[in-house]
Structure 1
């Protein structure tokens, strides 16, 4: 009897060697048995994946919830979120260069903290991607209605354009969007990345238009009072808008489909962060400068409404709504892509059923995996209100980011000689600060978000104990033990 607790403890703490990850990556490069992911994504496309997953998840609709919390100081909320994201981005850059595989922070946790921690992070990532994908799809219907109203004078009935609790019964546009993105993902990663890059360029052009027009209607009086709810409001808004920085993690999910990953992955993560932060701050500043902060609450398709007010004409708002419709497609596409690759990594490790790791020999994509993800996200988008989703996504993102930062420290200690294409500057201060910033933003989230999150983790733990630990590829007697002791640094 005493052996069972020891065995369970060993299962929970066993780690997957980095060498095993790299060996699997080598198999993928060779397309062993025609079943591996294919390295077809370039550096620019990868950066656009990061930008595409990030801009659109927040800036097109989050101002309506963040500005009432922080007032004009919402600009500082984005800065605080960007600082946290920057600290974490540096940690991601190091781990992606050292462990260039699919699975994102799930794989990094498996290599550094053990199987139970990896499973928990995987659960956070699945929550993060599924919920954010649904939230984005919900918002798509708002801009689609705004566009059809401006161009054709009609809108979809609320009963089929919004989920329950938000004035409707089922969100049909959200379901349609998810289905279209899944069909594109099944075609192939290269095709999906190309389409995404085009849509991201359209998105950046539209946001540039908003900034230029919005600043032309800038009134300094709208910035007073600058922080009506004080620093507490700025912090609360920052915790919510951190949802908008999910794209950094999406870059790392492409670890096995990008060319020259040790160099390309770090550059794409940092490049995406710089582009995203600049646009977020400029759009927020133009928005609160052009419209009184008290008018943002409950405002649907708010950026379009601001442009219409500034110009007195319909065309700028119509252009922005059209850009939002296109760009939110790119966000949904990348979020679904990221989730399927995380599930692929977990399935390959035996933590999930084999259907999640099966790849089509013709397209090089996990078709069954993609269909399952699409069905789940479409269901959420159809039936769950938007305001239930945003904070839950922020919490899942922050937990995953904190684990990545801890993983940098652990991997430096355990494998100091591991080849790293990028190293975090200011180590170990930067990873430690990243963990502290993530913890601070988590602290500011609402209590009900914690309750939902704990419930999700409880379900995930039950699945792991019932399935994952028994089917893990590390379950053999020769692999149950942890990795060898760390090699001392020179």
Structure 2
């Protein structure tokens, strides 16, 4: 029977079909990850981005009150993490928010969420790889006295005071090298990548604890005065958004690692227990670490010193101890840390592409996996090429807010999905169930996300809507006709 357009846009899958969809055929992902590896994926994809780089962007917007920006972003992430935990415990699939909304709200909403996630992950991986370049250069300068030539560590497309600037002959080579190394590891399979990531995460946490201890020895309360110079929300003389909420929007991307935990749902042992538990444990570690490091950093130097500061935490250590070796140690830790962030972020995007490809909404090549390593080869190479090009040629100033936009929209729709599923499938087996009924926590999650997103720059909205227009064109030109639900097919 021919479906109406509305029926096509709102067609859904059952939770059981989605949970089983990533297994049982030629395109099968293996369940090889335990709870510890899963938590390390979440922490690895999260700790590093906001702390190592975003303070240079966020502190000028909020001053010392950036501490509250981290708290606000953490509250939004915690509320959404609870929503993720409920959906992940009942729909343990590889597509994260995409898969959850396909079951709860239908194909079109799922496709929109998928587009948000692809934007979020690609730009997040690119932005972190750019930050890796800064700390690599700091490490080389302080350890062996050699700096990467400016033309080989600065992008061609730069955000200047007068707008976009083109620096012909420039390329940021380190991000391209980093992404190539991540590609090599990911092609070897999830288990090997997760093991290497776990080691890097433990090193990163140790280095950040070392930073906190040293920075607190130079703690100066006067650095927090005035504490909140720009208020909750406002604009500066140039019309740019400033204040606690604006800074929270800038750093919110640093919580996307929680979503990465959910993208691994099809490769986790006992997913109905381990995915929600992994999300909550990762969140607890991340929020604690962020606030600790933020307070230590703000106490060690004035807020004005953060503006445009390259490899900021390493510089703070060098200034506090009046020696190079602490900066060398932290830069080495950052090089390892950001490697793990980029690795896991690219991993997450390849799994989302895999889920969308399995549903027929993008070409079949994206659903194929290597019979030997069970890694999605085409996805991995495709994502790494895109991420490498953006990281090599684009200024990171264009990327942070775009990542937050994609994250906040996806998080909001996941929260709505919890409400829908409670009414649509009240008897669905849930390994974790939100307290206070179906409305309170999801409603608060959506409200906080929208509160943050309203203060993102106008330019971010413009680029986001252009991207969504491109994505929807792809859906109506290809996806709506090739969808497996449209063809009455089960996943392979």
Deviation, structure 1 residue 276: 0.4
Secondary structure of the residue aligned to 2:129 is helix
- Kept in 1, the 8 Å contact 2:117–2:349? The answer is yes
Q: Verify: 1:335 aligned to 2:332, yes or no.
A: no
**Match for residue 411 of structure 1?**
421
Secondary structure of the residue aligned to 2:21 is helix
Deviation, structure 1 residue 112: 0.8
**Match for residue 487 of structure 1?**
none
| Structure 1: gaps spanning 5 or more residues | 480-490
Q: 1:245 aligns with which of 226, 237, 255?
A: 255
**Match for residue 104 of structure 1?**
96
**Match for residue 201 of structure 1?**
202
Q: Verify: 1:344 aligned to 2:349, yes or no.
A: no
1:104-159: CA deviation from partner (whole Å, max 9, x where unpaired): 10001100111110000000000000000000111111000000000011111111
Q: Verify: 1:361 aligned to 2:353, yes or no.
A: no
Normalising by structure 2, what TM-score? 0.94
Deviation, structure 1 residue 255: 0.4
Deviation, structure 1 residue 19: 2.4
- Kept in 1, the 8 Å contact 2:70–2:251? The answer is yes
Matches within 5 A, 1:169-180: 169-180=170-181
**Match for residue 16 of structure 1?**
13
Output the CA distance in 2 between the equivalents of 1:106 and 1:51. 21
1:421-464: CA deviation from partner (whole Å, max 9, x where unpaired): 00112232000000000011110100010000000000000000
1:322-359: CA deviation from partner (whole Å, max 9, x where unpaired): 00000100000000000000000000000111111001
Output the CA distance in 1 between the equivalents of 2:487 and 2:108. 17
**Match for residue 485 of structure 1?**
none
Normalising by structure 1, what TM-score? 0.94
Deviation, structure 1 residue 17: 1.6
**Match for residue 141 of structure 2?**
149
Output the CA distance in 2 between the equivalents of 1:145 and 1:23. 46
Q: Verify: 1:133 aligned to 2:134, yes or no.
A: no
Output the CA distance in 1 between the equivalents of 2:203 and 2:214. 17
Q: Verify: 1:436 aligned to 2:447, yes or no.
A: yes
Output the CA distance in 1 between the equivalents of 2:18 and 2:294. 41
1:452-477: CA deviation from partner (whole Å, max 9, x where unpaired): 00000000000000010111000136
Output the CA distance in 1 between the equivalents of 2:129 and 2:31. 29
Secondary structure of the residue aligned to 1:294 is helix
Output the CA distance in 1 between the equivalents of 2:209 and 2:82. 27
Secondary structure of the residue aligned to 1:430 is helix
- Kept in 1, the 8 Å contact 2:19–2:93? The answer is yes
Deviation, structure 1 residue 57: 1.7
Secondary structure of the residue aligned to 1:417 is coil
Tell me the C-alpha RMSD between the 2 structures.
Answer: 1.4
Secondary structure of the residue aligned to 1:310 is helix
Deviation, structure 1 residue 367: 0.7
**Match for residue 60 of structure 1?**
52
Q: How many residues align?
A: 471
**Match for residue 451 of structure 1?**
462
Deviation, structure 1 residue 369: 1.2
Q: Verify: 1:272 aligned to 2:282, yes or no.
A: yes
| Structure 2: gaps spanning 5 or more residues | 159-166, 234-242
Output the CA distance in 1 between the equivalents of 2:78 and 2:385. 33
Output the CA distance in 1 between the equivalents of 2:436 and 2:193. 36
Deviation, structure 1 residue 169: 1.6
**Match for residue 315 of structure 2?**
305
Deviation, structure 1 residue 417: 0.4
Secondary structure of the residue aligned to 1:60 is helix
Output the CA distance in 2 between the equivalents of 1:348 and 1:282. 42
Output the CA distance in 2 between the equivalents of 1:309 and 1:477. 65
Deviation, structure 1 residue 408: 0.4
Secondary structure of the residue aligned to 1:256 is helix
Secondary structure of the residue aligned to 2:93 is coil
**Match for residue 286 of structure 1?**
296
Output the CA distance in 1 between the equivalents of 2:424 and 2:329. 53
Output the CA distance in 2 between the equivalents of 1:355 and 1:331. 26
Deviation, structure 1 residue 366: 0.5
Output the CA distance in 1 between the equivalents of 2:395 and 2:5. 39
1:389-413: CA deviation from partner (whole Å, max 9, x where unpaired): 0000000000000011000000010
Deviation, structure 1 residue 250: 0.3
**Match for residue 85 of structure 1?**
77
Q: Which stretches of structure 1, 4 residues or longer, exceed 2 Å deviation after superposition?
A: 22-25, 165-168, 476-479
Secondary structure of the residue aligned to 2:88 is helix
Output the CA distance in 1 between the equivalents of 2:481 and 2:8. 9
1:225-258: CA deviation from partner (whole Å, max 9, x where unpaired): 1111112211110111101101010000000101
Output the CA distance in 1 between the equivalents of 2:343 and 2:419. 32
Deviation, structure 1 residue 7: 2.2
**Match for residue 255 of structure 1?**
265
Deviation, structure 1 residue 165: 3.8
Secondary structure of the residue aligned to 1:230 is coil
Secondary structure of the residue aligned to 1:470 is helix
Deviation, structure 1 residue 478: 9.0
- Kept in 1, the 8 Å contact 2:366–2:376? The answer is yes
Output the CA distance in 2 between the equivalents of 1:135 and 1:147. 19
